């Protein structure tokens, strides 16, 4: 069966990306010039280390990050990866719910099986006897219904690429993870009900943008900051006056505050030199390891009996 030109391009890009995970070269036999993935300096054909920044060209966090960015493609690979992870976890929630007899039809629009969410790592308050720390991360990738994930992912795709372009993919993923964790932490400390959703992390991205606009002058920055603040006030007002929607204002505030502080601390630009890039990659990969570890712990606890 013939493959369309567009899909052939995708296959070629993915094949090249997987070859480049560890700094490997292209597919032909002719040696080609290489660029250092850390500082973008031109290096020798047979070089194994960059003469400018000293980065290992065969294996380094920079080379691995560049390979993953090429695999996911586009201008915002970290946002794409987060989107895919959320969709996968929502599909897993539906499958676990169906296996436990959840109703079909329109029920997935507004609510999914509570036991499925619990087993997959939803956030629960500290006062609950079976609280576990991994839930502060896994809850950020779970959603309570099709409308819930749909709204959150639309906002993520609108704001995420902007923040990722400003700071770079590695620091962006670190920010997203920290904001989501802080939102879950405040929700667990002060909240009274279980919670799920990416909204804490997404409010963190909004907090970062508010911090950026507060440092810059000009009518456009003021207008953008005003729209962002109006958006935040609306979100919190909905949580205060429409309690039936079960919005988690503590989680929203935790993510927003963490994002604003991160935006004030970090310069609003991509890393400029090899040292800054190495720090950014270390932050991004540390966040990735924490997220993966939390999901591994969740999987180990998946079949644990539920206590009252």
Spatial distance between the Cα atoms of 104 and 102, rounded to a whole number of angstroms = 7
**According to the model, what pLDDT value does residue 16 have?**
54
Of 178, 176, 200, the C-alpha closest to 123 is 200
CATH superfamily entry for domain 74-301: Rhomboid-like (1.20.1540.10)
Handedness of CA 54, 58, 60, 66 (dihedral sign): positive
Whether 280 has a pLDDT exceeding 50, the answer reads: yes
Give tens-digit pLDDT for 65-115: 555 555 455 678 899 999 999 999 999 999 888 877 665 555 676 677 788
pLDDT at 240 over 60: yes
Q: Taking Cα atoms as reference points, which of 89, 80, 87 lies closest to residue 172? A: 80
pLDDT reading at 27 higher than 50:
no
| Largest CA-CA distance found in the chain, in angstroms, rounded | 66
pTM for the predicted model, two decimal places: 0.77
| Higher pLDDT among residues 161 and 270, named by residue | 161
C-alpha 143: how far from its chain's center? 14
**pLDDT tens across 172-212, in order?**
999 999 999 999 999 999 988 889 999 999 999 999 999 99
Q: Is the pLDDT of residue 259 over 90?
A: yes
Q: Which residues in the chain are classed under CATH 1.20.1540.10?
A: 74-301
DSSP states along 272-296? -SHHHHHHHHHHHHHHHHHHHHHHH
Place of tokens 């036991």: 115
Tally of CB atoms within 10 A around 2: 6
262, 266, 270, 273 alpha-carbon torsion, rounded to 10°:
-140
Average pLDDT of the chain is 80
Taking residues 152-181, report their average pLDDT: 93
| Residue found under tokens 């973008």 | 40
Average pLDDT of 45-73? 57
Rounded to whole angstroms, how far apart are CA atoms 10 and 13? 5
Residue partners of 197: CB distance under 8 A and separation at least 6: 139, 140, 142, 143, 144, 148, 152, 248, 251
């Amino acid at each position: 069966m013939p493959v369309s030109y567009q899909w052939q391009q995708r296959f070629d890009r993915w094949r090249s990306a997987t070859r480049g995970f560890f700094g490997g070269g292209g597919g032909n036999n002719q040696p080609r010039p290489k660029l250092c993935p850390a500082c973008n300096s031109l290096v020798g054909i047979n070089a194994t280390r960059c003469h400018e920044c000293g980065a290992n060209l065969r294996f380094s966090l920079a080379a691995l990050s560049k390979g993953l960015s090429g695999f996911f493609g586009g201008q915002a690979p970290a946002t794409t990866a987060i989107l895919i992870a959320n969709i996968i976890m929502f599909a897993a929630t539906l499958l676990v719910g169906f296996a436990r007899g959840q109703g079909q039809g329109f029920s997935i629009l507004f609510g999914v099986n509570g036991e499925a969410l619990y087993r997959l790592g939803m956030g629960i308050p500290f006062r609950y006897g079976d609280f576990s720390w991994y839930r502060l991360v896994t809850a950020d990738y779970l959603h309570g219904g099709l409308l819930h994930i749909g709204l959150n992912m639309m906002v993520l795709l609108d704001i995420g690429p902007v923040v990722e372009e400003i700071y770079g993919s590695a620091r962006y993923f670190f920010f997203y993870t920290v904001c989501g964790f802080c939102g879950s932490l405040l929700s667990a400390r002060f909240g009274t009900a279980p919670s799920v959703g990416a909204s804490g992390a997404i409010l963190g991205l909004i907090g970062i943008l508010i911090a950026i606009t507060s440092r810059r002058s000009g009518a456009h920055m003021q207008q953008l900051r005003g729209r962002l603040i109006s958006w935040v006030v609306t979100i919190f007002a909905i949580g205060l006056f429409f309690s039936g929607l079960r919005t988690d204002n503590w989680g929203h505030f935790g993510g927003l505050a963490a994002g604003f502080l991160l935006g004030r601390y970090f310069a609003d630009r991509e890393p400029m030199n090899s040292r800054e890039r190495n720090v950014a990659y270390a932050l991004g990969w540390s966040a990735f390891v924490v997220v993966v570890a939390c999901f591994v712990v969740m999987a180990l606890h998946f079949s644990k009996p539920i206590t009252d």
